[in-house]
Structure 1
Amino acid sequence: MSHVSELDAGGQDTSGDGTDNTSVDQENIAISPEAIKSIERNLAIVIPCMDENVTILEGLLHGIPHDCFVIFISNSNQANYETECESLIKFGKVACRPVLIHHQGDPTFARTFQEAGMSELLQPQVTGIPEGKEHIPRMNNGKGEAMMLGVIIAKLAARKFVGFIDADNRIPGSVLEYCKVYAAGLHYALHHNEHTEQNEHAMVRIKWKSKPKVKNSELVFEEFGRSSRVVNEWMNRLLRVLGDDATPESMITTGNAGEHAMDVDLAFKLRFATGYAVEPFQLIDLWERFSVSNDPSSKPVRILQIETCNPHIHSADRLTGHIPRMQVQGLSTIYHSRCTPSRLKDELRNYMREKLATVVDSTGEPTPPRIYSPLGSFDWKIFAKVGLGKQDLHKE
């Protein structure tokens, strides 16, 4: 775990690679403003959203650095979507920056995924359609699906990096820090590697400083969310089983990191899960498919976990009972992983049967998450035909 020690560390680019070391022991690394700007100009920020208060979405835009390319993927109802478009496009014009917004349910995207050989992303065809009526295809609902569409747009827009931010964040200053952490972390990961003969893939996962909640009329700054505590614990148990006694007990602190970023090429190699499993599964997928590779051309993947200074304050919970579902879907990625030994599966199944009985069956076994093939495995370039990544909405 790394920590943000200064929000503005100052410094100039004197080393030639955009980095100033301000400590003899190199524990503290200052990333120059020039290096951060260089990453931001190549960074797309994807925000999946659904029926969120439009003033909160506007706040996100206030916090995202000007040079970042902003992509909203909305799954809102039609009235809210129209409001989102009007507000976000207006912001783009005022700020003189491109802001893209697309609706996840646009049948054009569904048809394009189908044509590209990715029909698994489409909802099943409805039966009993009246004669003369055409079936209108639609993408599956879900955050993971929205993220996949955002990654394709980032690639078509020629961005090298893609970051994700949840739409319910109420603190623009937190959003700004997230983006700066993405840029600093990606720069550091790609310029300080032990594999000098080859480049690395990089992923930056954010751990919030705290997640405040109101308890007994007081604001309590809790370190972890209710789902993160559980998913992190079992991920660490898996690592200790796979590793040895030297493996730290709390190595993973970002199992549910909604705020994370990576190079676009890595995003095209990852498999995406749907629902609340999407972020935990990224780690599982990396461990399953990239930790051991016999391919001499494969690149190592460096994962950075960075704790922020700002707290994470999001919109009030609108759904009841979603925390157990979040926990089960996150734990299901561990349970169904081929890395997980049978003994740990038994322990995990017993835990879910005892603690999460309302969302698992009597055996305690969770439903496997829906997993999609990597984006790079199908003809994603076909999306260029519908103009993805080329629109500049603030000029419309």
Structure 2
Amino acid sequence: MRLNINSGSTRVGDVEIHEVFRVTELDAGHRVEANTLGGIAFDSTVSHGNIPFSQESLHAIEAQLAIIIPCMDEDQSILDGVLHGIPHECLIIIVSNSNSSNFKAECTLLTDFCHNAKRPGIIVHQGDEGLAYAFHSAGLPELVVETSLPQGKQKNALYIRNGKGEAMMIGAAIAKLAAKQFVGFIDADNYVAGSVHEYCKVYAAGLHYALHCTEHNQTTSSKDITQLAAESNSMVRIKWNSKPKVKDGQLVFEKSGRCSRVVNGWMNRFLNAIVDDTTQNAVIQTGNAGEHAMSLNLAMELRFATGYAVEPFQLVNAWEQFGGQTSTYKQKDHTMVSKAPLLRKVQILQIETRNPHFHDVSKGNDHIEGMQVQGLSTIYHSSLTPPKLKDELRVYMKENFPTVVGANGEPERARVYPPLGTMDFGIFRTAMKSYPKTLKVIDDTTVWRRAT
């Protein structure tokens, strides 16, 4: 793959978010220039231009990358296409919240695919009681709901809360058990296997670039990919090339969706307010990026929000935690304390792909408005939001989403969880092993390694 990198970026404390990179070539050829850094043709004096990535450098990331697919009652043929698009070296993890018959079909689908492709895969149901018990025991009871059972039962039932953000947390925790260093997220309603494949390749290229873009040959040459990944705080967010719609019988390749236009606009106003930038830059192009990847190290540090607030909240929380503020979560009791400086800065890359993004568009306007408000709520309720911007946002939501927000325009605050890194993964691993039917693992040699 070959990327066109952009020299522009905005810093908020220890967080650097880069302006949009673009895919120049899906396949850069089998030869990469001789002067390379970790398989990248890289010159530390050049801050823009086209950079090719060797197949070896992409495969090195993919071998450490778990692709997590949150899924709820999706069309089996579409999910099948998603599976076929994921590069062979990546570990597939499906987190399903489907009804029982569909979940059974998903298990069969993944099993058949993995056997035919001779690769590992994992599927788990979000409502599994053993999964809830493991999170509860390991120190993350906030993710779990306890239901009272009739008298005579030995214990109350536990289950994980519903929501996409919750599914992503489950997948990331399982990826850590599988000793992976990176996690990527792919929506289950993507109609085109080729775009799924491109997204995963972009994840690999972006993550590989982020490992090297702040350090040069003399500091990275002695480290392998596992050592670098263990120190990395990096994220890659996909900007779709287009999102086609049928209008008046014609296929129109729109450059952004309804949610993206709204959330990106307000996210840029938010960012400009944080950095006190009067030029009104539009750096943020991926506020609602459902397709994104990150180092597992960063996934353990960030807090996840429920539902569709999860993707925009990742940006907000990165700025809250690492943007020079004085407080963040403490590991044991979740009180607010000062956070030590990061060994490596948070690098957030935004990369525009070549494939158009076709996905399910049948969920209706109410669904879209709900997603928009959930995204905007992460800005509205942030401790970093200036009062003036907060007032303007409240007026906007009152005028545009009167059936979703409160009478005064205030949106509901999204549920936000403690970081996954606050869990005891030794306890989590032991608890999961005590419920052997919770995970369906194809080729289980990849999973029960000792959690790092």
TM range (shorter): over 0.9
Give, in angstroms, the shift of residue 384 of structure 1: 1.6
State the AA in 1 paired with 2:150: P
Residue 191 of structure 1: aligned partner: 212
Residue 151 of structure 1: aligned partner: 172
Give, in angstroms, the shift of residue 390 of structure 1: 8.7
Give, in angstroms, the shift of residue 361 of structure 1: 1.2
CA distance, structure 2, for counterparts of residue 303 and residue 186 of structure 1: 10
Residue 390 of structure 2: aligned partner: 345
Residue 329 of structure 2: aligned partner: none
Residue 255 of structure 1: aligned partner: 287
Query: Which of 345, 350, 353 is residue 305 of structure 1 equivalent to?
Result: 350
More moved, 217-226 vs 36-45:
217-226
1:265 lines up with 2:314 in the alignment? no
Give, in angstroms, the shift of residue 381 of structure 1: 2.7
Give, in angstroms, the shift of residue 153 of structure 1: 0.9
More moved, 25-34 vs 79-88:
25-34
Residue 217 of structure 1: aligned partner: 249
1:171 lines up with 2:192 in the alignment? yes
Q: How does 1:281-296 map to 2 (within 5 A)?
A: 281-292=313-324, 295-296=340-341
Cα 1:5–1:361 shift into 2, 3 Å: same
CA distance, structure 2, for counterparts of residue 327 and residue 214 of structure 1: 22
Residue 204 of structure 1: aligned partner: 236
User: What is the DSSP-based 3-state SS (H/G/I as helix, E as strand, rest coil) of the residue aligned with 1:150?
Assistant: helix
Residue 358 of structure 1: aligned partner: 403
Residue 235 of structure 1: aligned partner: 267
User: What is the DSSP-based 3-state SS (H/G/I as helix, E as strand, rest coil) of the residue aligned with 1:28?
Assistant: strand
CA distance, structure 1, for counterparts of residue 131 and residue 396 of structure 2: 40
Residues 132-174 of structure 1 deviation map (CA, whole Å, 9 limit, x = unaligned):
2453211100011111111011111111110001110000000
Judge conservation of contact 2:91–2:121 (CA < 8 Å) in 1.
yes
1:12 lines up with 2:32 in the alignment? yes
User: What is the DSSP-based 3-state SS (H/G/I as helix, E as strand, rest coil) of the residue aligned with 2:246?
Assistant: strand
Give, in angstroms, the shift of residue 23 of structure 1: 12
State the AA in 2 paired with 1:7: L
Residue 130 of structure 1: aligned partner: 150
Cα 1:356–1:391 shift into 2, 3 Å: closer
Residues 31-75 of structure 1 deviation map (CA, whole Å, 9 limit, x = unaligned):
111100110011000000000011111101110000000000000
User: What is the DSSP-based 3-state SS (H/G/I as helix, E as strand, rest coil) of the residue aligned with 2:191?
Assistant: coil
CA distance, structure 2, for counterparts of residue 206 and residue 84 of structure 1: 26
Query: Which of 382, 388, 393 is residue 442 of structure 2 equivalent to?
Result: 393
Query: Which of 361, 364, 381 is residue 316 of structure 1 equivalent to?
Result: 361
State the AA in 1 paired with 2:427: I
Q: Which runs of 5+ in 2 are unaligned?
A: 1-19, 221-227, 326-338, 446-452
Judge conservation of contact 1:93–1:395 (CA < 8 Å) in 2.
no
Judge conservation of contact 1:239–1:247 (CA < 8 Å) in 2.
no
Residues 299-335 of structure 1 deviation map (CA, whole Å, 9 limit, x = unaligned):
3100000000001100232355111111111000000
CA distance, structure 2, for counterparts of residue 78 and residue 333 of structure 1: 33
CA distance, structure 1, for counterparts of residue 375 and residue 321 of structure 2: 18
CA distance, structure 2, for counterparts of residue 353 and residue 60 of structure 1: 38
Q: How does 1:74-85 map to 2 (within 5 A)?
A: 74-85=96-107
CA distance, structure 1, for counterparts of residue 101 and residue 365 of structure 2: 24
State the AA in 2 paired with 1:98: P
Residues 234-287 of structure 1 deviation map (CA, whole Å, 9 limit, x = unaligned):
010111222244655310000000000010011000000001100000000000
Structure 1 segments of 4+ aligned residues over 3 angstroms from their partners: 21-26, 194-200, 244-248, 387-392
Give, in angstroms, the shift of residue 98 of structure 1: 0.7
State how many pairs are aligned: 394
Judge conservation of contact 1:13–1:34 (CA < 8 Å) in 2.
no
Cα 1:266–1:23 shift into 2, 3 Å: closer
CA distance, structure 1, for counterparts of residue 191 and residue 443 of structure 2: 24
Identity of aligned residues (%): 55
Judge conservation of contact 1:99–1:392 (CA < 8 Å) in 2.
yes
State the AA in 2 paired with 1:355: N
More moved, 212-221 vs 62-71:
212-221
CA distance, structure 1, for counterparts of residue 204 and residue 340 of structure 2: 29
More moved, 267-276 vs 199-208:
199-208
CA distance, structure 1, for counterparts of residue 119 and residue 163 of structure 2: 28
State the AA in 1 paired with 2:158: P
CA distance, structure 2, for counterparts of residue 50 and residue 210 of structure 1: 25
Quote the RMSD (CA, aligned, Å). 2.3
Judge conservation of contact 1:173–1:310 (CA < 8 Å) in 2.
yes
User: What is the DSSP-based 3-state SS (H/G/I as helix, E as strand, rest coil) of the residue aligned with 1:268?
Assistant: helix
1:2 lines up with 2:21 in the alignment? yes
State the AA in 2 paired with 1:54: Q
User: What is the DSSP-based 3-state SS (H/G/I as helix, E as strand, rest coil) of the residue aligned with 1:364?
Assistant: coil
State the AA in 1 paired with 2:234: A
Residue 332 of structure 1: aligned partner: 377
CA distance, structure 2, for counterparts of residue 136 and residue 223 of structure 1: 46
State the AA in 2 paired with 1:257: A
CA distance, structure 2, for counterparts of residue 212 and residue 326 of structure 1: 19
Q: Decide which structure has greater strand share.
A: 2
